[in-house]
Amino acid sequence: MNRVTAAWRHARRRHGRVDHLARAVARYDEADGGRLAAAVTYYAFFATFAFALLGFSAFGFVLDRPEVQQVLQQYLAEHLPSLDIERIRIARGTIGVIAFLGLPITGWFWIDAMRSSIRKVWRLPEYPGALVPRLLIDLLALLGLGLLLAASLGTAFLTVTVVNRLIEPAADATQSRWLLAAVGFAVSIAVNTLLATAVLTGLPRLRMPLRRVIVPALIVAGGLELLKTVGRAFVQNVEANPTYQVVAGTVGLLFTLNIINQLILFATALAATSDTGDVTDLSAHAGSPGPSPGQADTG
């Protein structure tokens, strides 16, 4: 055991990345990241349904255009074959009302839990400022993330569609599939990285150089892409058995959300223990006490 400990200490002294990883793990454990992720997952579970209903409602209104409906049918046939877009189109009004009423409430609870958890990992006050201004800022952050998500997904969908039309007549089926898969993967990583960067910096109200947050954001992006691949296989395996669909879908969603939240909080620990660039707590300018994250202990 002494040899293992000595070898580990030597590796930390010799390799900066190993030492950084060790400090990030220690910071995550100190903040009780697993418990924080579970708390965020509880609120994210309800917010996800509201987000999904809003998305389905929006899809329902664009499905009146035949060209859009054809493209969506092809996409859903490959990724979510059990989803009936005709039912979505019929129920779009009711779905939209429910989502419009439920999203601000469930979304705020999720934003509040995520923001306070990230700030705890940074060793900063979890609830900066007074309640009303904090609530308004959180709702603006929720709106901003929603718009960013919509714009990112729209851009990704458009990019893949355009590339698919360009390569379809110019290459054989095998080459087209590989090229389209590569483009889709690259676009997904870019979208996930953008969203992860927004969550890691915007929600906790921190300003830091891109070089400090880019690696943690890429880790989250890669994890999301892996979870998407595993989740797609999971859905395809359980959709044939109606008995499993309800339970497996709910459990699968909870498991996925928990893993995502743990990824985000561990990425936060990586950013918090990095010594690259300075970090500014933007909420401190509004009178929120607490240490500057740029000067926090990196141990």
Q: Mind giving me the DSSP string for 237-264? A: HHTT-HHHHHHHHHHHHHHHHHHHHHHH
How high is the pLDDT of residue 6? Answer: 64
Q: What is the pLDDT of residue 260?
A: 92
CB within 8 Å of 260: residues ≥ 6 apart = 220, 223, 224, 227
Query: Residue 208: its pLDDT value, please?
Result: 94
Q: Alpha helices, DSSP H only, in 168-209?
A: 173-201
- Count how many residues are written for the chain: 299
User: For residue 139, which amino acid is it?
Assistant: L
- pLDDT on residue 183: 77
Residues 6+ away with beta carbon under 8 Å from 137? 129, 205
pTM reported for the whole predicted model: 0.78
Tell me what pLDDT residue 298 has: 46
Give the per-residue pLDDT at 172: 59
Other CB atoms within a 10 A radius of the CB of residue 179 amount to 16
pLDDT at 160: 67
pLDDT value of residue 116: 95
Provide the pLDDT for residue 288: 45
- Give 207's strand partners: 280
Query: CA distances (Å), 49 to each of 42, 77, 103, 253, in order?
Result: 12, 22, 9, 10
Please, are residues 226 and 233 in contact by the beta-carbon 8 Å criterion?
Answer: no
pLDDT value at position 205? 92
pLDDT of residue 13: 67
- Cβ–Cβ under 8 Å, residues 7 and 15: no
3-state helix, strand, coil in the chain (%, to 5): 80, 0, 20
Distance CA 267, CA 221 (A): 10
pLDDT score at 128: 87
Q: What is the pLDDT of residue 290?
A: 44
What pLDDT score does 24 carry? 93
Residue 281 pairs in a beta bridge with: 206
* Residue of 37, 211, 182, 224 whose CA lies nearest to 120: 37
Residues lower than pLDDT 70 in the chain: 1, 4-13, 15-16, 55-93, 95-96, 153, 156-157, 160, 163-164, 166-177, 235-236, 238-247, 285-299
